[in-house]
Amino acid sequence: MAKIIDDETMENVCLLAKLSLEEEEREAARAEMQKMLTYVEKLDQLDTEGTEPMSHIFGSENVFREDEIVNENQKTAMLFNAPRTKDGQYHVPKTIG
């Protein structure tokens, strides 16, 4: 069974996290932390024989896709909705004096 979180442990956690909890909040936090410890104990029971330890879920190679342009130049279509245009650009009122 997972270690039981006692008052001293809760006090240390609150001190380290700079928390000031009322008794009701402290008990709720203790219950949540106890659930986490119980779950971690279940994970410790998994057979990890032959599994290499890792620090990241991805390997060291780049796993992201390359950027690709997937739409053509839409300038004309975008300017079609503009209230005013000038020299192929949006024409907006001057905002600096």
Question: 30: domain range?
Answer: 7-44
Counting DSSP H helices and E strands in the chain, the numbers are 3, 2
In contact, 21 and 14? CB cutoff 8 Å: yes
Residue 76 is assigned to a structural domain of this protein: no
Which residues are registered as beta bridge partners of 86? 89
Mention every residue, 6+ apart, whose C-beta is less than 8 A from residue 84: 90, 91, 92
Task: Say if residue 26's pLDDT is above 90.
Answer: yes
pLDDT at 2: 64
Task: Enter the pTM of the model.
Answer: 0.48
Residue 36 is assigned to a structural domain of this protein: yes
What total number of domains does the chain contain? 1
Q: Which tokens is 36 given?
A: 């986490």
Residue 28 is assigned to a structural domain of this protein: yes
Task: Say if residue 32's pLDDT is above 90.
Answer: yes
Q: Which tokens is 87 given?
A: 């020299």
Residue 14 is assigned to a structural domain of this protein: yes
Q: Which tokens is 61 given?
A: 């190679």
Residue 58 is assigned to a structural domain of this protein: no
Residue 13 is assigned to a structural domain of this protein: yes
Q: What is the tens place of the pLDDT at every residue in 40-66?
A: 898 888 888 888 888 877 767 776 888
Residue 24 is assigned to a structural domain of this protein: yes
